[in-house]
Amino acid sequence: MSSKQPTFDELMANCERSAIHLEMRDAYDVVYESGSFADWRAGHRLDPDDRESWWRPWLDLMAETVSRGVAVRRARIVSEPVSEYIKYEHSGTFTNVAAGELVRWLPRRKASDLALPGNDFWLFDDRWVHWNHFTGNGESGGGEITDDPAAARLCATAFEAVWDRATPHDQYEIR
């Protein structure tokens, strides 16, 4: 373990080759009464031609990261039929793709024989793991950062196994 723990922002800013993200939950911090999820439930959809209305500053960060030559890939393992939250997430994923992220979806039933970490994660340059911890109702439970080589190998291997089986975003049909 390194003596200085970088922050998530530092990991993203200093990433040189790859940033991969594995998501394995069917809902994240859902607020039904207000916010973008509530707006989506009421019928609002993001306009592909109105980039200013998209999720900022995240998408700007992704575009800047990709412009430095970093490959940013995101894989999502989802239950089918998908949850309402995953429908919401899928409907806005075109913005991630427009910012330069490569995104794939894997039905959970096709991941049954894969060895997967117990938490969602980001892996930067095959070295730094940022674990994402969540409470039972999907709220953030904080993060944890490590450069443990065994954890990095586990995450890299798991992600590639998911990526190989997953369907690219533009081909994944919501069920």
Averaged confidence pLDDT in the chain: 93
Specify the pLDDT at position 48: 86
Strand partners, 122: 21, 130
Specify the pLDDT at position 136: 85
Q: Which domains does the chain have, with CATH numbers?
A: 8-171 (3.30.870.10)
CB-based contact 105:169 (threshold 8 Å): yes
Using a 10 angstrom Cβ sphere, with 0-12 exposed, 13-18 middle and 19 or more buried, the burial of residue 159 is: buried
Four-residue CA torsion sign, 79, 84, 86, 90: positive
CB-based contact 15:128 (threshold 8 Å): no
pTM: 0.93
The average pLDDT across 118-130 equals 98
Specify the pLDDT at position 95: 93
The average pLDDT across 142-170 equals 97
Flag whether pLDDT at 55 surpasses 80: no
